[in-house]
Structure formats: structure tokens, C-alpha cells
Chains A and B, each alone.
Chain A
Amino acid sequence: MSININTPSPAISGGGLGRGRIGQPVLRKEDLRLITGAGCFSDDVNLPGQAYAIMVRAPHAHARIVSIDTAQALAAPGIIAVLTGRDMLADGMKPIPHRPFSPHPADMPLENTDGTPIFTAPHYPLAPDKVRHVGEAVAMVIAESVAAAKDGAELVEVDYELLPVIANTAAAASPTAPRLFDQARSNVCLDGVMGDAEATAAAFARAAHVVRFETKIPRVTGVPMEPRAAVGAYDPAIGHYTLHAGTSGAWRTKADLVIMLGVGDDDVRVITNDVGGHFGTRGMLYGEFALVIWGARRIGRPVKWTCERNEAFATDYQGRDLVVEAELALDADGNFLAMRGSNISNAGGHTTNFSPLRKGVEIMSSIYRIPAAHFRARGVVSNTAPTRPYRSSGRPEVLYVMERLIDLAAREHGFDRIELRRRNLPTEAEMPYTNPFGMIYDSGAYHRVMEKALGLGDWAGFPARRAEARARGKCRGIGVANYVDTASGVPRERAEMTVHRDGTVDVIIGTVSTGQGHETSFAQLVTEWLGVPFDNVRILTGDTEFVKFGGGTHSGRGLRLASIVIWGASQQIIEKGKRIAALLLECESGAVEFRDGAFVRPGRGRTVSLTEVARAAHELPDVPDDLRGPLAAISDETITTAQFPYGCQVVEVEIDPELGSLEIVRYSAVDDVGRAVNPAIIHGQVHGGIAQGVGQALMEHCYYDPETGQLLSGSFMDYAMPRADNFPFFNTEYVETPSPTHPLGMRPAGEGGTAPALGVMINSIVDALSEFGVRHVEMPATPERIWRAIREARGGAQSMCDRNTPEVMLR
């Protein structure tokens, strides 16, 4: 299926129809309420008679729960209930239905080499027997107020038997490491391979050059600014649960709650209003969501829980955390021959998700032409918070590895960094390109985009800027990184469209905007395709009362899949409308055309508007039965192809060699978005994505003490967040090469800012430090790390910007 999204062409003339079409940076519909304080985030919801829940959380990273004494807490003022894992099991609560991978046919299979199933173990909202990371909930205290609940939580006495802790990713994979799950042979839950071992070995055997790189991509966390919150209610008369919570998709949350509670599909309603950021952290249901509705049933009153930031740091699903050993083989001319290595991904304290491992390994070769590759992929558990996909799941890590390998190859074997990339980027004629793991990159003007980014970043003018910086005693470096991103995720989405008698159009869809502006960009699609004024379109999401299916928002699937089902529903509306219009125009429906937002009988000059048709569907006596009533359509599609956004970033940094401090002086990015719906939103997505990638590269780090598994980065005082003064203005541009695997040509734009940011940042830093002989700086590249790298590498090599560095600094 291929559709030209610019047809049919609605009128630009009159009625404000020109505003809000595809391609316009129209102002967002959601903003008026958000800038006036009228948004409705989860903690803004209050139900009459609600009680307040506080979780009792484990202070230990690994311990057996010997006993929980709730008597003192229950006797405290204002306490309504204290519920433990035992109560939860007694009531039949099922574990959180984690799935090791999100199912998408375009992703490569990853299975255990020995044929055994991937190890998974139940993860309950309240740990019944054992805690496996600091902050894991062991009891829920419900009280008349938050303060009373907190006081009560202090009185819950939990007797723990401490167990040996393993918090380090690589060490967790060792067969002798302390085991998290007694029923498992080791902490390695998944141990598989991808690629062709033989072909790879052969290619390495004839390589002229081999470059090797080992790294750890640190654990970070998404930190949506809105902490989680949930309000649960239960109606005993009809046995019905209602949850108000910020999710990435109300329908999927409902479906999971139905499983956990063992109730019928219609027994749970989930309502999600405004959501203050997601980035992957809200990609799966949280135990507290099930606890508040269960608690509401237990006490016969609504229960509200609001996460505090320190709890969020300890218990939000975290991201990244990958240990990589990789080698790249090149021939004498610099052609990439093969790649091999091993990845270990850390799922944390529960077997939540191994998607980032798979999504990384399958594009280990990144955007480049590499004929052969072979990787071992292991997923381990450890005494740390559970992880899940985080913005551009699994890809920024491996793209960073590839970009570092290229820069290292250039430096160690005498190639030019740019020439090496040019030589190994597939050309447009090679598209679609199948990578050595079997992923099929749909299309792309990779060379054109890289050259555009190099132009935007003025690569050619860099030597002069470096010289100028040097005169000021600063070390200036420049880096480049390409990326390709594999957008898959839940393949099914559903839109329900209704044209009302007053001419307004409602679209019900199963995605949820967590900042992406769906109310705006989805409405633009309707305005484009049905010629309806932009202000007349309403996008309705986030309530399972009317959302009958929805895949949610992740994997760049929001607009990408919404556009397909909104297109499908629009076409059905037009077809139905033609049949009704035929009655009004007194002709065969085949003779009716839809143009400029109205139905016309060509040659006769008579038109009827969509609104008139919608009205006629209700009122005209001779409307056929199948069209009588609301003019409505449902489009439910499963899209089995993936899309491949790609792009290039160029970054320039200046480093003060005495302090190790760093300033980003230029940041340029070019992304291929296929077809741009709202340019302002696209640029905004890229800006935010860049900031998250840069945050990981320079400062963010979930740091667990390796001995105790204590989280030492548990607040904004310890976890470094990117702030306004860490960045320059970004120079972002996009190109539009329609994706042939998407019926409307679209590629997602939400993750491209992050995907190459790790690689480009470290490449530019290492370039700035190259004159000292620094080979690499691990993430987060803090001033201290940079300063130490300079000190360690210097050993005699005196740089032009190497002034006297004091002996004791920064410590």
C-alpha cells in the first residue's frame, strides 16, 4: 500500500481551512491548558473519600524477608490498612506481566544458544519473599493522610536476612556470582548469538587492520519531570475497578491489570490524562498501579499514591547499562570487512525486559556497510532497579560503539574519519540494505544527510576555530556520528473516527501523548485528508471507556502508526460520504468526488459539505441502513514493516585542560523524518532527544555501590540533570525521503536526537584531547574524568594548550 498523502487536496480558501494542514508548524492545541495551569496530571486527580498510600521499601539490595510485623503500624493514628505481599498473594494477585521482548516481525530473533527458554521469574508489586533491589516495595500502608501513612510506614517492622549483593553488570554474568533467583542456574537469563560466526572469522583472518574497543554504557534513568501518581477506585456493586494514572497507553495498562487481578476485560477502566514525560520509563505498568486499585477494594475507599522523587530514582524503570567488547576488521583501503564481539545487558532486579539487548545487537553494525558480523548477547539480572527500553531502546549504546570504533580505526590506522565513513556508508543505489544480522534498512540518502550535517557544522572551517580556541588556552574538538534507528514496537493500532452533525470530527486512538503533541499533529492529518477546519478536530485518547484497543506510545510508533489508521478511517469516511452525498446530489455514488472538504458531482457545480453529509446520515429518510446514524469509521491495522529513521550529528566542544570543564559550542543535527507533519514539534523532539543523549554522555549516572547495591544517585542533588546552561542553541534540520515501508512515507522523529548523541559527544571530546594522546573517555565524561584522562595520557606529550596544571585539583 502506498498513498500520496497530499491527496485529496482540501481547500485552502475560506473557513480557516488552510491552517493546520500537514507540514505546518501550527501552534499546539494542548498548550493553552498547559500554560495556564489547567492541565490534569495524575497527582491532580482526587476522588471523594480517598485515602493515601505509602510504600514500605527495602533498604537492602538483596535480602530474604523473614517476617513483617504490622501491628504497631496498624495501631498508629489514621492508619486504615497495612498490606503485605502475603495479603496480595492470598487475594490471588498475579505478577506484573512483563514480556521479554515487544513482538515485532521486523526485529531479529534472539534466543538461548542452548535451546532452553529465556529465564523469567515472577515480579510482584509487593515482594512476597525476597527483595532484589533497594527500594523494592514490601508493604503498602494506607492512611487518612500522606503524613499519617508515612508515620505508619516507619512503624512497619521488616526482618530481613541479608544476602550477598551483585550490582555490577559484567560481574553478574559470572557463574560464581551470587544468584538473584534460586530457581535459575545463574544470573544470565539469556545467552544467544546473532550473525554469522564463520563468515566473520574468515573476514577477520584476511583483515589488514583490526580495531578493538571495550566500554560500559552506564545505567541512567528517564526522569520524566512528572513523578508517577495513581488513584484507584473500586465499585463493589458491579465489581469494577478504575485507575487514574499517567501511562504510555491506557489500553495496554488495562489489559495488564486485567491479567494481574484475574478479572474480566470490562472490569477495569484506566484513565490517563496529561502525562509529564515518558521516554520509555512508563513503557510498562508499575506495581503501584495494581496496588492502589487492589487497596481500594480492600478498604472500600479510593486510594491515592504519589511517588516522591527519591522513590522515582530508586524504582522507575531505568535504562541502558550495557557492557560491550567489540572489534572491527578493515581492509587496507579502509573498507569495513566484519565486526564481532559481545554485549551484556543488565535487566536489574527482575526479568522485566530484554528488548534493549536485542534491539542493540541487531544493529550493531549501525548504518554502515559491514558484510559479516557475529555477536554474543547476554542479558543478566543484578541487585539494581529493573530496566526497560529508554529513549531509542538499545540503539544509542551500540551506535556509540560503532562511532567510537570508526574514530579509533581512523586514528590507529591512519585514515581520515570522514573518508572512512564515506567509504562505508551504503549508497542510495544499495537500498534497501540488509545488514549482517538480517535487518533490512528500507531506504535513505545516507551520504546526502551526512554531507548536509558536515556543512551545517562547518566541518571544513574547524581548523581555524581550533586555532583560535588554542590561542585562548582551550582545546577544541569536533566529532561526527551517523545513526540509523529501527522503529518497530507494538505493530497494531486502531482509530475510530466520527464526523458529528455540527461538523466536528472526533478521533479515538490508542496512543497517549506524553509531550509529543498528538492532539495537534494527529488533527493536522484529519484537516489534511478531510478538509475539516483544524479547530474542529478532537483527538480523544487515554480512557479505556472508549479506547477499545491501543498499542500506546513508544518505539516512535505514535504518529507513525496513528497516521496509517487515521488515513484508513478518513478514506472510509469519504467512501461512505460519497454514497450519502449521491442521494443529496441525485446521482450514482460513483460519480461523486471528494474535493476541498466537500462532495461534488463534477460538471454540475453542486457540492455538499462533509457536515451536510454527516447530518443527512442521521436525518435523510432514504439513507441505506448500513449508513444510517453517525458518519463513522474504524480502522484497525497491524503494520509488520519497521521504519528506519536515520541522520547525522556534528558537535564541537571546548575543553579547559586545566579544569577538565567542557562547553558544547556547536551542535548540528540532520534527521530524515520521511514526511514532516509539524516542523515545530519535530525540531522540539530533536532538541529534547539531544539533551537526553548529551546528559548520558556528560553527566547522568545511576550509581550503585558495587559492594552494597545502595543507590548513591537517589536525588537531583546526586543525579546530574542537564540544565539550560549545559547547551548552546541547537542547529537542527531535517530532510524528507519518504519511507517505502510506510504507506505515507513517515519515519519517526522522537528518538533521532538521542540515538547518535552519545557517540558524537565522546568523539568530539576525544578529538579535543587527541593532542594529549587520550584514546578514549568513558561516559559520563565528567570534568573529573576528562581532567584525569589528560593527566594520565600526558606522560610527556606536551600539548600546545598544555599550561601548568596544578597537582591537586577538583578533588
Chain B
Amino acid sequence: MPTVSMTVNGKRVSAEVEGRTLLVELLREHLGLTGTHVGCDTTQCGCCTVHLNGTGVKSCTVLAASCEGATITTIEGLATEGKLHPMQEAFREHHALQCGFCTPGMIMSAVDIVRRKGNDLDERTIREQLEGNICRCTGYHNIVIAIQSGAAAMKQSRPSGAPPG
């Protein structure tokens, strides 16, 4: 079985994987990072969203073997130095989660939306950009509010000159 090496949440990791092993399987089963969830089998729900080299991807649709040398951030790696990421704070502050199953993917997608669309997000943009993430609990109301507020907070917390996200 081929070995694949990558950096996950700042740590170098290597694992033996089969050709068919998905990135999400590597994360959940080999690395024990169970914060990334699997909600479907058709790349629709977004529960599995992580950042691959800084870009949001659905880890259920990425082969682990294709991630050689990649840098991955999962929900477990979003908080730094014991401090929650502003988007995590915003989700908690605005009650943007109920069961919490979609939440890791939602938060990772939200951070990616900010990367793509900037910190000043209007409601329409957020709703459209959430096309790839399904939540069954919240009716999205508080998620949209949280993303708007988290995006703004990311601007403030960002050291000047650093790229968003």
C-alpha cells in the first residue's frame, strides 16, 4: 500500500493508504480526527469540509493518496493557541448549531467563503455560497447571521497584511 505524507493541523503525518481511501477516511479512521463528519455519499452535504492547501474541499471526494505533501486543516486545527477561531466564536455566540453534526463542515466552509468573498458578506452572498452545505436543524437563519458576524470578526482579528482565512 502506498504511503502518503502530509501536514494535518500543523503536524507532519504519514499513513499507509489504499488507492481507494478517501481523505475523510484517512482523517477519521487513521488519524482519529473525528470532528470531520460524513453526512452523505454524493458530495452534497458538506459535513466533511476541510481546508486543503488553504482551500475548502469536501474530503469525502478527495483521494487520500492525492494529498501527498498537502497541508490540511480540519475543524480540530482551527483554534490556535487555545483560542477559538472567530468563526467558531460566532457560531456559538449566535446559536448557529443545534445537533452540531453539520457544524464542523459549516464552519470550515464559512472560513472558506470569507477567503473567497471577503469579510463584508451580505445575506444573499452567504446563502448562495452555502449551497454545498446542508443543515437540517437550524433553518440556516442563525448560521447566516453567524457567518456574517464571524467574517467581520476575522477582519478585526487578522494581523494587518495577512491574507484572510
Residues of chain A having any CB pair with chain B under 8 Å: 25, 27-28, 30-32, 34-41, 43-44, 147, 222-227, 274-279, 308-310, 514-517, 680-681, 683-685, 687-692, 715-717, 721-725, 727, 729-730, 753
B106-143 residues at the A interface, CB under 8 angstroms: 107, 123-124, 126-128, 130-131, 133-143
Q: Are A226 and B101 in contact (CB under 8 A)?
A: yes
| Given A226-B37, A724-B140, residue A515 in contact with residue B42 (CB < 8 A) | no
User: B88: CB under 8 A from chain A?
Assistant: yes
* Partner-contacting stretch, out of B62-70, B72-80, B154-162: B72-80
Give the dominant DSSP class at B's interface: loop
Complex: how many Å from CA A191 to CA B156?
65
B76 contacts A36, C-beta separation under 8 Å: yes
Instruction: Name the A residues within 8 Å of B47 (CB-CB).
Output: 225
Please, which residue of chain A has its CB at the minimum distance from the CB of B105?
A225
Query: B100, A227: Cβ atoms under 8 Å?
Result: no
CA distance A654 to B119 in the complex (A): 30
Q: Given the complex of chains A and B, what is the CA–CA distance between A36 and B91 in angstroms? A: 11
B151 contacts chain A at the CB level, 8 A cutoff: no
Within 8 Å of chain A (Cβ to Cβ): is B36? Answer: yes
Question: Could you tell me the distance in whole angstroms from the C-beta of B116 to the nearest C-beta in chain A?
Answer: 16
Measured between beta carbons, the chain B residues less than 8 angstroms from A38 are 35, 76
Query: Cβ of B45 and Cβ of A684 under 8 Å apart?
Result: no
Give B residues with C-beta under 8 Å from A. Answer: 18, 20, 28, 33-42, 44-45, 47, 74-76, 78-79, 84, 88, 91-93, 95, 97-104, 107, 123-124, 126-128, 130-131, 133-145
Q: Which residues of the partner chain A approach B92 to less than 8 Å between Cβ atoms? A: 27-28, 31-32, 35
Nearest residue in A to B77 (C-beta to C-beta)? Answer: A37
Contacts of A690 in B (CB 8 A): 139
Q: Determine the chain B residues whose CB is within 8 A of the CB of A723 once the complex forms.
A: 130-131, 134, 140
| In contact, B95 and A680 (Cβ under 8 angstroms) | yes
Task: Give the 4 A-B CB pairs with smallest separation, nearest first.
Answer: A37-B35, A276-B101, A34-B100, A515-B99
Q: B130, A724: Cβ atoms under 8 Å?
A: yes
Choose among A40, A225, A730 the residue that contacts B136 (Cβ–Cβ < 8 A). A225
Q: In the complex where A43-B38, A147-B20 touch, is A684 in contact with B100 (Cβ < 8 A)? A: no
| Contact pick for B41, options A27, A39, A691, A715, CB 8 Å | A715
A-B pairs with beta carbons under 8 A, tally = 181
| Besides the known contacts A34-B97, A39-B100, 10 further A-B residue pairs in the complex with CB atoms under 8 A apart | A35-B84, A35-B97, A36-B75, A40-B34, A41-B34, A225-B47, A225-B136, A276-B37, A276-B102, A309-B42
A685 CA to B99 CA, complexed, in Å = 11
Contact status B99-A514, CB under 8 Å: yes
User: Within 8 Å CB of B136, what residues of A?
Assistant: 222-225, 277, 279, 688, 691-692, 721
B51 to chain A, nearest CB (A): 13
A225-B45, A308-B41, A730-B141 are known contacts. Are A31 and B100 too (CB-CB below 8 A)?
yes
Question: Could you give 11 example pairs across A and B, Cβ below 8 Å?
Answer: A35-B103, A41-B34, A225-B39, A225-B47, A225-B136, A687-B139, A687-B141, A723-B134, A724-B131, A724-B135, A753-B139
The docked-state distance in angstroms from the alpha carbon of A39 to that of B45 is 18
A390 to B102, CA, bound (A): 20
B91 and A277 within 8 A (CB): no
Establish whether residues B98 and A515, one from each chain, have CB atoms under 8 Å apart when the complex forms.
yes
Nearest CB in chain A: distance from B56 CB, A: 15
The docked-state distance in angstroms from the alpha carbon of A315 to that of B134 is 20
The answer to whether A721 and B144 have CB atoms under 8 Å apart is: no
Interface contact A717-B44, CB-CB below 8 Å: yes
Question: B139 is contacted by which of A309, A681, A727 (Cβ under 8 Å)?
Answer: A727
Residues of A within 8 A of B99 (CB): 224-226, 274-278, 514-515
Most buried by B among A34, A44, A279: A34
Closest residue of chain A to B102 (Cβ to Cβ) is: A225
**For the complex, what is the distance from the CA of A692 to the CA of B76, rounded to whole Å?**
30
Across the interface, which residues of A come within 8 angstroms of B78, CB to CB?
36
Closest A residue, CB atoms, query B35: A37
Task: Report the Cα distance A274→B137, complex, angstroms.
Answer: 14
Complex contact B34–A691 (CB within 8 A): no
Contact status A37-B95, CB under 8 Å:
no
Cβ B141 vs Cβ A727 within 8 A: yes
Contact A31 B101 (CB under 8 A): no
Measured between C-beta atoms, what is the minimum distance from B78 to chain A in Å?
A: 8
Taking CB atoms, residues of chain B closer than 8 Å to A43 are 28, 34, 37-38
Q: How far, in whole Å, are A147 and B38 apart by their CA atoms in the complex?
A: 16
Contact partners of A514 in chain B: CB under 8 A: 99
Q: Is the CB of B76 within 8 A of A37?
A: yes
Asked if B42 and A716 sit within 8 Å, CB to CB, the answer is yes
- Indicate if the CB atoms of A225 and B134 lie closer than 8 Å: yes
Q: Which residue, B78, B102, B126, B127, has most C-beta atoms of chain A within 10 A?
A: B127
Chain B's closest residue to A224 (CB) is: B136
- Contacting pair B88 A716 (CB below 8 A): no
Does the CB pair A37–B130 fall under 8 Å?
no
**Contact A724/B127 with A684-B138, A716-B134, A730-B141 known, Cβ cut-off 8 Å:** yes
With both chains docked as a complex, state the minimum distance between the C-beta of B74 and any C-beta of chain A, in angstroms: 7
Q: Once the chains bind, are A688 and B98 in contact (CB under 8 Å)?
A: yes
Q: Which of B18, B41, B75, B131 contacts A37 (CB 8 A)?
A: B75
B40 A309 Cβ-Cβ under 8 A: yes
Please tell me if the beta carbons of A274 and B100 are within 8 angstroms of each other in the complex. yes
Query: Cβ of B144: which chain A residues have Cβ within 8 Å of it?
Result: 724, 729
**B99 and chain A: residue at smallest CB distance:** A515
Contact A681 B95 (CB under 8 A): yes
CB distance from B147 to the nearest CB of A (A): 9
Please give me the residue from chain B that is nearest to A274 by CB atom: B100
